[in-house]
Amino acid sequence: MYSVKLRETLLKSLQTTFDMQDIDVLTDVPPGQELVLVDGLHVSHTDILDYRVTQSRELHYIVDEITPAEQSFAAINNLILHLASDVQIYLVEKYSNTGKKPVLAFWGVLPQVGTTTLAVSTAQLLAQRYELSILVLSLNLYDPGDWIAHKATYYLDDLKSELHLRSLTPERLRSMTDELGGVRILYGNRNPLYPYQYTDVEIRHLIRSAKEAFDVVICDIGSYLNTAGALVALEEATQTYAIMPDRGYAQRRFHQVEANILRTMRMNPRDMLLIGNKMDNPSLKTLSIHADAMQATPLVAIGNYAAVTMRAQTQPEPLKMLLDERKYRTDIQKIVEGFSKTYLFSAGEAAATKR
């Protein structure tokens, strides 16, 4: 791992845990390095701009305070911001077993495509089958996602001060979630006028606390990838699911997002699992045609259950009625099975867990 002009105290601290080589000139970083730390105390914005003339690689930029100006500069110049006080925790988590805990991100290629429904349905079946502790984080900061509950108690807003101070503990997070069908859920931002009030550092702190408190974290990020909630969840996700209907314009939207956002995040579309939802023709062949055009990986094609969903919304537990539909439940089980194979869960391990 390489760093550039890292302050001495931080360098010595990191070198006790990591093989860290510090260099003086940004352009001397060898190609192919997975992670490069650059200290904003000694490497100025001008140095970064000079480097960007010839190099576009992602850099981790260390600052003492994250201001709106720093965030704007970072967004334009492909930088990931870290507070100097937090960078060691970030690295330990990234390269430790805790950092490898499953974080699943559900992204709707288009709005109103059923992202929340699929995220929570998957969480509930996963919890039932493997007796895992699962947290659903509603990180679509334009919609709290509380329509799925008869009565919601806890919201992301309630933790704003603790996220800002980075003082949220796993115990506190567990106590600030609602139970829903065997999983815990933290509903999202209640005021859609302020989706940008959360910083990437705050959301990363939230996900870090969630990974310490639960076996699996599922992030419902909605469809708009322009908030810290959505973007950090994508960065932290070990698996991303892209959800779309069988509409040609969904492909166009995907390509726009891929070109302008996913590519700058170094996300390969083939690493995304494509879920067709609300499909008029729910066949894997139809989904595969879309997947080939988008260079994504097809997973499951789900039909349109609009009539059932409308009736379900009048029930105390809307998703229960939907999951009672055998075909829908079978489709969600395919998502769960894909997850279990990826993360080495099996029927035998599930049984052992229950014992």
C-alpha 124/C-alpha 128 separation (Å) is 6
* Mean pLDDT on 72-99: 82
* Mean pLDDT on 221-239: 94
In this predicted structure, what is the pLDDT of residue 161?
95
C-alpha 105/C-alpha 222 separation (Å) is 10
- Amino acid identity for residue 166 in this structure: R
Q: Give the angle 154-222-207 at the CA atoms, nearest 5°.
A: 55
All structural domains of the chain: 2-94 (3.40.50), 98-354 (3.40.50.300)
Q: Can you read off the two tokens belonging to residue 114?
A: 């059923």
- For residue 220, pLDDT over 50 is answered with yes
Most confident of 203-212, 307-316, 345-354: 203-212
* Mean pLDDT on 260-276: 92
* Mean pLDDT on 3-32: 89
* Mean pLDDT on 223-235: 95
Confidence of residue 18 (pLDDT cuts 50, 70, 90): confident
Which residues are paired to 138 by β-bridges? 220
* Mean pLDDT on 310-328: 82
Q: Which 8-state DSSP code applies to residue 190?
A: S
Burial of 179 (0-12, 13-18, 19+ CB in 10 A): exposed
In this predicted structure, what is the pLDDT of residue 96?
59
C-alpha 188/C-alpha 280 separation (Å) is 30
DSSP string, 275-316: EEEEESS--HHHHHHHHHHHT-EEEEEEE--HHHHHHHTTSS
Q: What is the dihedral of CA 182, 186, 190, 192, to 10 degrees?
A: -100
In this predicted structure, what is the pLDDT of residue 106?
98
In this predicted structure, what is the pLDDT of residue 150?
78
Which of helix, strand or coil describes residue 349? helix
- Name, in order, each residue with C-beta under 8 angstroms of 136's C-beta and a sequence gap of 6 or more: 119, 120, 123, 180, 183, 184, 185, 186, 218, 219, 220
- For residue 98, pLDDT over 80 is answered with no
Q: Across the chain, what does the average pLDDT equal?
A: 89
- For residue 349, pLDDT over 50 is answered with no
Tens of pLDDT, residue by residue over 35-81, are 899 999 999 999 999 999 988 888 999 999 999 899 899 989 999 99
- For residue 330, pLDDT over 90 is answered with yes
Confidence of residue 354 (pLDDT cuts 50, 70, 90): very low
Which of helix, strand or coil describes residue 146? helix
In this predicted structure, what is the pLDDT of residue 355?
41
Cβ atoms of 37 and 8 within 8 Å: the answer is: no
In this predicted structure, what is the pLDDT of residue 109?
96
**Which of 41, 49, 89 is CA-nearest to residue 65?**
41
- For residue 344, pLDDT over 70 is answered with no
In this predicted structure, what is the pLDDT of residue 350?
44
In this predicted structure, what is the pLDDT of residue 59?
93
Question: Which of the two residues, 92 and 251, has the higher pLDDT score?
Answer: 251
In this predicted structure, what is the pLDDT of residue 341?
77
- For residue 353, pLDDT over 70 is answered with no
Burial of 207 (0-12, 13-18, 19+ CB in 10 A): buried
